[in-house]
């Protein structure tokens, strides 16, 4: 998943493109490149490593007003300057930037090489430039349209040609592409974030659409040149979302934002008269919801663990069988769609390829699918039958933190709605809402323990392997804690249900392999304490997350992190925060780039 950004307008393109690309770096950051149209052709600069390496290499003066940039997450071909985008054709007059995977590129490359084309990179993307070269006879849009049907796979694509200095051509299939409409200038990018400080007027392109931009207009068509009318949407722009605001890293900032992001997710969604919730975007009446007989949640990564967590709650409050599916698995298994089943796809970015393609498979089979998304106007949000925006605000750090608790917020409201439709009394609804409203202030209390958690992280930063254990609704939280640690510290971390300890993982226990155990005061407390003792009996070190005031576990565990007391259902909101902070500080102690960890990208728009 890469970041692409193009500009054609009345300003020098170079700096504007680089500033916009900074906001796409979360999509991939192993190399970057720029192409700006200049008097005698193209000025192309590429560098491996972070965007700042490219910035340092830019020529003092590049006055071109037409250009494209790219930040790469390598799929085909190593991290080299030659493999960085933009890619050009043999003449050097065509430049393209691409996000996606051209699955039949090897076949196309061979055919092109047989015709004498000389390739400069190992990438799949470069074939696009040479195919356009074959077809270009003066009309760039026409040439692009002619080659798109040859491509198997996914693309978000921007093309420029020296002979068409004021034109950009974009096309989308399976990878996001958004158009920005300015005053006598146009923008094209994989994400609104690149352009939102320049224009808030955006047009979301769909698969199979081609757009031709000049500074003053845009024309969208399908692949057969049939015009397609597009709505112009207005998006909000808050610069602070893209600023660390005094924090060392976006990840730490976003961990601290959680009390506010949860409050935002609750605004207008708790009905304190009816002691229930309200989610307008579901597009379903209570009568519709009453007919629902089962729930299926589909997601990837952290979003999958959010789904797993809330599945316990839906079953408890609404007595509805609830299943959680990995998007990457669901899209390839011949899933059986049962009647009266409500599907949710959960995706912070709304662009995750696995989740998007799972959504499309569910729709093909006639399922009703709702979305739980953060990115407004994202592809998943637009292709579902309705859904809920979690209002977490842009999440810049690759490791997801505030989106997790915001996803829980939206899905807990849904659980309350379903619970009150089916089994929960008015009084039970009222108790649930009271506890819910208390979550933000209790997270504030946990955040004030940051330095204690930092000290614990420092003590364990040398571990080579880490185990995370939890039971019941906190089992997925333990899985999320393991994911956080592994993705930003690069320490191998495994999460599992504490009840499984004796079925195998206990073989891993020794003095070098510490465990992080969630042992809150809940209905499974005694079981967890037994597991704690099993680990200690084998000299395993244990960090125990406990409910404040627990004097029992502190006598057994090696280190304690306390969370405030709360209704058992809401413990996941509190338990996940120390896990996020712990992972953050272990990674910092190890000198990792916590916002942009190696090999990862924020929005996984390729399979
Ligand atoms: C979590 O920290 C990771 N960045 C990753 O697992 C992420 O949650 C996953 O790729 C799903 O992303 P989405 O919510 O945008 O679909």
365: in domain: yes
HSE, CB side, 13 Å, CA atoms: give it for residue 435.
20
For residue 413, pLDDT over 80 is answered with yes
Q: pLDDT (tens digit, 9 = 90+) per residue, 469-481?
A: 999 999 999 999 9
| Domain finish residue from 241, 271, 294 | 241
> Are residues 111 and 260 located together in one domain of the fold?
no
Residue 7: φ, ψ to 5° = -140, 135
Output the average pLDDT for the chain. 94
Residue 330's pLDDT is 96
Query: Does residue 384 sit within a domain?
Result: yes
- Residue 62 pLDDT exceeds 90: no
pLDDT tens for residues 351-398? 999 999 999 999 999 999 999 999 988 889 999 999 999 999 989 999
Closest residue by Cα to atom 9, ligand 1, is 301
Quote the number of domains for the chain.
Answer: 3
Of residues 56, 50, 43, the one with CA closest to residue 21: 50
Quick check: 286 pLDDT over 80?
yes
Mean pLDDT, residues 105-122: 96
Binned at pLDDT 50, 70 and 90, residue 409 comes out as very high
Residues 272, 169 share a domain? no
> Are 453 and 578 found together in one domain?
yes
> Which residues line the pocket of ligand 1, CB cutoff 6 A?
300-303, 347-349, 352, 355, 398-400, 487, 603-604
Q: What is the DSSP string of 279-343?
A: -GGG---HHHHHT--EEEEEE-HHHHHHHHHHHHHHHHHH---EEEEEHHHHTTS-PPPPTTEEE
Q: Are residues 374 and 421 in the same domain?
A: yes
Say if 572 falls within a structural domain.
yes
Judge if 171 and 34 occupy the same domain.
yes
Residues 583 and 547 in one domain: yes
∠ CA 150-83-144, nearest 5°, is 30
How many Cβ atoms from other residues are within 10 Å of residue 598's Cβ? 11
List the Cα angle 155/151/104 in 5-degree steps. 105
Mean pLDDT of 186-198: 93
Q: Which of 2, 35, 164, 373 is catalytic?
A: 2
Quote the CA–CA distance of 498 and 518 in Å, as a whole number.
Answer: 9
Residue 601 lies in a domain: no
Residue 599 belongs to a domain? no
- Are residues 206 and 106 part of one domain? yes
> Which atom number of ligand 1 is nearest to the Cα of residue 300?
11
- Backbone dihedral angles phi then psi of residue 227, each to the nearest 5 degrees: -60, 145
Per-residue pLDDT tens for 92-104?
A: 999 999 999 999 9
Residue predicted with more confidence, 196 or 558: 558
Determine contact, residues 51/25, Cβ cutoff 8 Å: yes
At 467 the three-state DSSP class reads: strand
**Banded model confidence at residue 76, pLDDT cuts 50, 70, 90:** confident
Q: Are strands 168-173 and 155-161 parallel, antiparallel or unpaired?
A: antiparallel
pLDDT at residue number 241: 75
For residue 444, tell me if it sits in a domain.
Answer: no
Q: What percent of the chain stands above pLDDT 90?
A: 85
| pLDDT score of 529 | 97
356 Cα: distance to centroid of ligand 1 (angstroms)? 13
Q: Which of 300, 482, 606, when mutated, tests ligand 1's pocket best, judged by the most ligand atoms within 8 Å of its CB?
A: 300
Q: Residues near 295 by Cβ (< 8 Å), separated by ≥ 6?
A: 311, 314, 320, 321, 322, 323, 341, 342, 343, 344
Give the three-class secondary structure for 103.
Answer: coil
Range of the domain at 534: 449-594
pLDDT attached to residue 24: 81
217: domain CATH number is 3.60.20.10
End-of-domain residue from the set 211, 241, 271:
241
Q: Which of 241, 261, 278 is the last residue of a domain?
A: 241
Residue 302 lies in a domain: yes
- Do residues 165 and 218 both lie within one domain? yes
Distance CA 157, CA 159 (A): 7
From 400, 403, 583, 596, mutation site for ligand 1 pocket: most ligand atoms within 8 A of C-beta: 400
Q: What is the CATH number of the domain that holds 525?
A: 3.40.50.10490
Structural tokens at position 389: 């925006």
| Positive or negative torsion for Cα 453, 455, 460, 462 | positive
The rounded Cα 403 to chain-centroid distance in angstroms is 9
In ligand 1, which atom is closest to the CA atom of 401?
Answer: 2
Q: Which of 93, 253, 588, 602 is catalytic?
A: 602
For residue 457, report the phi and psi dihedrals to the nearest 5 degrees. Answer: -60, -40
If asked whether residues 492 and 368 sit together in one domain, one would say: no
Inform me whether the pLDDT recorded for 29 exceeds 80.
no
Residue 544 included in any domain? yes
On whether both 276 and 394 belong to a single domain, the answer is: yes
Active site residue 2: yes
Q: How much is the pLDDT for 416? A: 98
Please, is 272 exposed, middle or buried when counting C-beta atoms within 10 Å of its C-beta (0-12, 13-18, 19+)?
Answer: exposed
pLDDT of 462 reads 97
Which residue among 297, 301, 350 has the greatest number of ligand 1 atoms within 8 angstroms of its CB, and so is best to mutate?
A: 301
The H-or-E segment that residue 223 falls in is none
How many angstroms separate the alpha carbon of residue 599 from the centre of ligand 1?
14
- Residue 448 near residue 454, CB atoms below 8 Å: no
What counts of helices (H) and strands (E) characterise the chain? 18, 26
pLDDT of residue 280 exceeding 90, the answer is no
Residue 436: strand, helix, or coil: helix
Mean pLDDT calculated for residue range 136-146:
97
Count CB neighbours of 470 within 10 A: 32
State whether 37 and 154 are in the same domain.
yes
The DSSP 8-state label assigned to residue 516 in this structure reads E
Both tokens of 67, joined, read 């250009």
- Which range has the worst mean pLDDT, 70-84, 280-294, 413-427? 70-84
48 and 94 share one domain: yes
Peptide bond into 204 cis (omega under 30): no
Whole-angstrom distance, CA of residue 494 vs CA of residue 490: 12
Residue of higher predicted confidence among 55 and 582 = 582
Rg (CA), the chain: 25
Which whole-number Å values give the CA distances from 295 to 116, 289, 578, in the listed order? 56, 11, 30
Higher pLDDT, 74 or 94: 94
- pLDDT value at position 531? 96
pLDDT: which is higher, 249 or 80:
249
Q: Is 602 a catalytic residue?
A: yes
């Amino acid at each position: 998943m890469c970041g692409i950004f193009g500009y054609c307008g009345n300003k020098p393109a170079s700096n504007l493109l680089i500033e916009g690309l900074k906001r796409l770096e979360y999509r991939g950051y192993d190399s970057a490149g720029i192409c700006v149209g200049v008097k005698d052709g193209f000025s192309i600069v590429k560098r491996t490593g972070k965007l700042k390496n490219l910035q340092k290499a830019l020529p003092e003066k590049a006055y071109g007003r037409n250009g494209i940039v790219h930040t790469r997450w390598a799929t085909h071909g190593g991290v080299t300057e030659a493999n960085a985008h933009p890619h050009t054709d043999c003449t050097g007059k065509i430049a393209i930037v691409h996000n996606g995977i051209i699955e039949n590129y090897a076949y196309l490359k061979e055919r092109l090489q047989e015709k004498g084309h000389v390739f400069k990179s190992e990438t799949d993307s470069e074939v696009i430039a040479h195919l356009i070269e074959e077809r270009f006879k003066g009309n760039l849009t026409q040439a692009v349209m002619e080659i798109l049907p040859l491509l198997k796979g996914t693309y978000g694509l921007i093309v420029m040609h020296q002979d068409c200095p004021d034109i950009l051509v974009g096309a989308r299939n399976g990878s996001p592409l958004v158009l920005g409409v300015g005053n006598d200038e146009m923008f094209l990018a994989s994400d609104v974030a690149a352009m939102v400080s320049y224009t808030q007027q955006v047009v979301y392109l769909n698969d199979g659409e081609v757009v031709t931009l000049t500074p003053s207009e845009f024309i969208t068509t399908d692949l057969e040149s049939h015009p397609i009318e597009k709505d112009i949407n207005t998006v909000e722009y808050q610069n602070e979302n893209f600023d660390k605001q005094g924090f060392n890293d976006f990840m730490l900032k976003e961990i601290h934002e959680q009390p506010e992001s949860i409050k935002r997710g609750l605004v207008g969604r708790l009905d304190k008269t009816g002691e229930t919730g309200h989610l307008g975007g579901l597009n379903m009446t209570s009568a519709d919801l009453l007919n629902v007989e089962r729930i299926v949640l589909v997601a990837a990564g952290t979003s999958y663990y959010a789904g797993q967590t809330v599945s316990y709650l839906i079953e408890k409050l609404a007595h509805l069988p609830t299943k959680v599916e990995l998007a990457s698995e669901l899209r390839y298994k011949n899933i059986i769609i049962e009647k009266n089943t409500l599907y949710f796809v959960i995706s912070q970015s709304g662009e995750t390829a696995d989740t998007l393609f799972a959504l499309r498979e569910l729709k093909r089979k006639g399922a009703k699918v709702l979305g739980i998304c953060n990115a407004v106007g994202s592809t998943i949000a637009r292709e579902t039958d309705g859904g809920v925006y979690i209002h977490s605000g842009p999440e810049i750090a690759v490791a997801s933190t505030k989106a997790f608790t915001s996803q829980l917020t939206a899905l807990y409201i849904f659980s309350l709605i379903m619970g009150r439709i089916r089994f929960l009394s008015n009084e039970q609804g009222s108790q649930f809402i009271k506890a819910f409203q208390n979550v933000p202030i209790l997270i504030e209390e946990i955040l004030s323990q940051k330095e204690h958690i930092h000290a614990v992280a420092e003590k364990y930063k040398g571990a080579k392997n880490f185990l995370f254990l939890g039971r019941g609704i906190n089992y997925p939280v333990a899985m999320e804690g393991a994911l956080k640690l592994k993705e930003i510290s690069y320490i191998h971390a495994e999460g599992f249900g504490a009840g499984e300890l004796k079925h195998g993982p206990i073989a891993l226990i020794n003095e070098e392999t510490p465990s992080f155990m969630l042992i809150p005061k809940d209905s499974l407390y005694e079981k967890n304490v037994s597991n704690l003792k099993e680990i200690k009996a084998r000299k395993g070190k244990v960090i125990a997350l406990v409910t404040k005031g627990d004097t029992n576990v502190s006598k057994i565990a090696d280190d304690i992190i306390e969370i405030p007391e709360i209704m058992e259902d809401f413990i996941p909101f509190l338990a996940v925060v120390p896990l996020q902070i712990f992972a953050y500080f272990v990674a910092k102690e190890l000198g990792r780039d916590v916002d942009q960890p190696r090999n990862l990208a924020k929005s996984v728009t390729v399979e």
